[in-house]
Amino acid sequence: MCAYPAVEATAEINRRLLGYHRDHGFRIYDSFPLVSDDPTLIFTNATITPFKHLFLEESPPHDYALVQQCLRVGGGAGNPDIARTKENYSSVFEMFGSGCFGRTHSEATRYLIDMLVHVGISTGNIRVIVPEGSPFYGAVTSCGINPNQVYPISANGHYWRSWKFGRHGLLGSGITVVHVRPGTHVESAEDLASQPETCVEIGNLIHVFGKDNNGDVGPIPNQGFEIGMGSLRLAIIMEGKPLWELASFHEIFAATKTALESYSNQQLDRGFVRLIADRIRTISVLVLNGVRPGNKREGFVLRKMIRSCCELVWIDLQEACLMADIVRAFCNVFAPEHLTQIVETVTNEEQRFRAALQRGIRVFESGACTNPAKLMDTYGLRQQLIPVLSKSAPQRSFK
């Protein structure tokens, strides 16, 4: 099963990261399936997900490393609409992850800093957000990081100080490392958060120390440290370009833009093009992972993703164009060898969606129902789609 077409921009970074850990005795794993078998998740959304058992089982753990395909499609950092406003966002992404056991905070932090230097990150350009009052502050400064580059925080906000992995899951406290482009003025975590284009979050080092026991902290057999870093974020830093200008992303952005502009007489907003390209990329990766539209779990996510993509395009362009044509143009660049499979999946779901919407249009035009909430609940027909799908809609008002 093809799970994830290669990303040119991250190939060398991933090779260096995995090589570093192989040389240091870590066990290297291939990416686990995107659709998770963890009952608390639908998709693998963090590198610790397949390795929770190493922290929870009584048997001796081992150090591990991998590059994991991840997907986040709901809530907070997983809100796909972020792609419209954030030029470094992608719903589907590669995350480098590693876990190590039997180390102190200082040893784990030294390992993180050494790894960043190995891939080409200068310590003078990083800032570290640490939990206030934790051993991490001393661990970071003992690695030669200037105290002026370390920002303590007292609670989760834009950056986190504490983590919980799934319902009744593992608990951790950790640091966030951010790369600051030279010439950017920052003096606090708030300054970093306000300048996301020049202050790029690299990843986290988390001390996993317990598990959630109905609100209390329960012990675990194997405390350890987990690192999660975005390979694409490292590429953004190394190349000095926004994500959607990197190799593999620039090409699919251009293909999406050309396809959308064939239906529009106006210049399209780059944020809108990014949003649609990100949606189609997510849809394509789900199909390549064996997911098909349905009414449960990952199938329902894909169904909603295809239908919302149709809505976004139709409303913005004010034309109910064939989404399959736009997806075909995208896949000609993204995954030409799987184009037929992806386009057929989108075409079939788009046809089902159009049929449901047309039933709503007929009800609306007959006057049997003009209540926007009822039309949405019963037929999935948004008010904004009426002028696009029905020529007679402007003559009838909503009640």
- Does one domain contain both 52 and 98? yes
185 falls within a domain = yes
Q: How confident is the model at residue 266 (pLDDT cuts 50, 70, 90)?
A: confident
Q: Are residues 363 and 229 in the same domain?
A: no
Structure tokens belonging to residue 325: 């044509």
Are 228 and 349 in a shared domain?
no
Is 322 within the bounds of a domain?
yes
Same structural domain for residues 216 and 272?
no
In a domain, 234, yes or no: yes
42 and 263 in contact (C-beta within 8 Å)? no
Are 377 and 228 in the same domain? no
Q: Do 63 and 71 contact (CB within 8 A), yes or no?
A: no
Based on the fold, state whether residues 292 and 177 are members of the same structural domain: no
Rounded mean pLDDT, 336-356: 95
Q: Which tens digits make up the pLDDT trace of 165-206?
A: 877 689 999 999 999 999 999 999 999 999 998 999 999 999
pLDDT grade, residue 39 (50/70/90)?
A: confident
As a whole number, mean pLDDT of residues 217-222 equals 95
**pLDDT given at position 83:** 86
Domain boundary among 196, 215, 241: 241
Tell me, yes or no, whether 219 and 279 share the same domain. no
Poorest-pLDDT segment among 20-29, 80-89, 91-100, 226-235: 80-89
Kindly state whether residue 84 falls inside one of the protein's structural domains: yes
Q: What pLDDT is recorded for position 80?
A: 61
Residue 2, domain member (yes or no): no
- Rounded to a whole number of angstroms, the CA Rg of the chain reads 23
**How are the residues of the chain apportioned to helix, strand and coil, as percentages rounded to the nearest 5?**
45, 20, 35
Q: Which pLDDT value is given to residue 7?
A: 76
What pLDDT score does 399 carry?
36
Main-chain phi, psi angles of 247, to 5 degrees: -55, 145
Same domain, 237 and 256: no
Residue at a domain's end among 187, 213, 241: 241
Model pLDDT, residue 76: 45
Residues 144, 74, single domain; the answer is yes
Domain boundary among 241, 259, 286: 241
Residue 45 sits in which domain range? 8-241
Nearest CA-CA partner of 230 in 375, 23, 99, 92: 92
Task: Read off the CATH number of the domain in which 111 is found.
Answer: 3.30.930.10
In a domain, 1, yes or no: no
In a domain, 207, yes or no: yes
Whether 335 and 229 share a structural domain: no
Least confident window among 137-151, 157-171, 249-263, 342-356: 157-171
Query: Binning pLDDT at 50, 70 and 90, where does residue 4 land?
Result: low
254 shares a domain with 237: no
C-alpha distances out from residue 144 to 119, 123, 200, Å:
18, 9, 21
Give the Cα separation of 332 and 310 in Å (integer): 19
Same domain, 162 and 215: yes
pTM here is: 0.89
Is the model's pLDDT at 6 over the cut of 90? no
Query: Considering the domain boundaries, does residue 332 fall inside one?
Result: yes
Total domains in the chain come to 2
| Comparison of pLDDT for 371 and 233, the residue scoring more | 233
